[in-house]
Chain A
């Protein structure tokens, strides 16, 4: 290897991190408003709060943005500190599975039987 050069990647990942940061900065405070306004104390209250489809879509979107943001952040940490390539790949995979699983789970909770039937 004579001289180092770029792999022509990285800009997309960086953009994803920035874009999801903006989404989170807007959506997280935005989502707090209906929660604080309703302050549900019982199951029926929670069900009513989650009834509007747009709110559930927004929560899912925010969850997905959070997962993507966390993915870039975790990848950065692993690139900084975990130098054996095999171990780093294994950790990437573990984080990806955990985050993707969490988003799927979130979707299942939001659109699953308990809430879905109430809608």
Chain B
């Protein structure tokens, strides 16, 4: 199988380049991560992140033939050769396929991704009705792989200021949570021409999400809540 891999080793002083690799491998039933690990077995200088190898940890997001995907759940058989593998776009590259996730995490932290509830702790759990719990479906499943945010042109242009689809989806996850008491403060935190309204509904994020989530819809709901409390 033919691959074209993005290679960058900052200590070498060389510019990033694309490396052509031929690998003798039967693609049947195998994922892209299997191939990358086989290549790494031949050339241990190839650097990439991975952990769970089953689409749960979100660490092996990369740009494959122009689309952001998780290597571990991307079947080799559905990829056109040469398979071009690059690091996620829009984030600084540390080496090869490893990017600096800090700008992404910084935006994630900015939405306070934890439950805010100052009521005295109940003796049992803070209970939710099945209906309230259902509001979190489609939001809590995010694995923070950054496939969506790094596919979003608005994030490319303003990574410092725009929260990005992953952060906004998580912001909505806590706004929608019946146990959270900080809804107004959360909306205040987002109501901003840059933090929220840089989203132009391009929907690259929906196309990219390997978990089938829909950040654009969550962003639309945040906007409706903001409109409702204003008009």
Contacts and interface: CB of A to CB of B under 8 A. Distances in A.
Nearest to A75: B193
A31 interface: no
Nearest to A9: B193
B193 A80 contact: no
B6 interface: no
B223 interface: yes
Nearest to B188: A6
A10 interface: yes
B190 interface: yes
B157 A81 contact: yes
Interface residues of A, number: 17
B231 interface: yes
Contact of A10 (B157, B196, B231): B196
Interface in B12-71: none
B110 A6 contact: no
A14 B197 CA distance: 8
Given A79-B198, A80-B154, A10 B191 contact: yes
Contacts of A15: 227, 230-231
Contact of B191 (A3, A8, A76, A79): A8
Interface in B154-201: 154, 157-158, 161, 188-198, 200
Contacts of A80: 153-154, 157-158, 198
Contact of A4 (B157, B195, B197): B195
B226 interface: yes
A7 interface: yes
Contacts of A13: 193, 197
Interface of B: 109-110, 153-154, 157-158, 161, 188-198, 200, 223, 226-227, 230-231
16 contacts: A3-B109, A4-B195, A5-B192, A7-B191, A7-B192, A8-B188, A10-B192, A10-B196, A11-B191, A11-B226, A11-B230, A14-B197, A15-B227, A15-B230, A15-B231, A79-B158
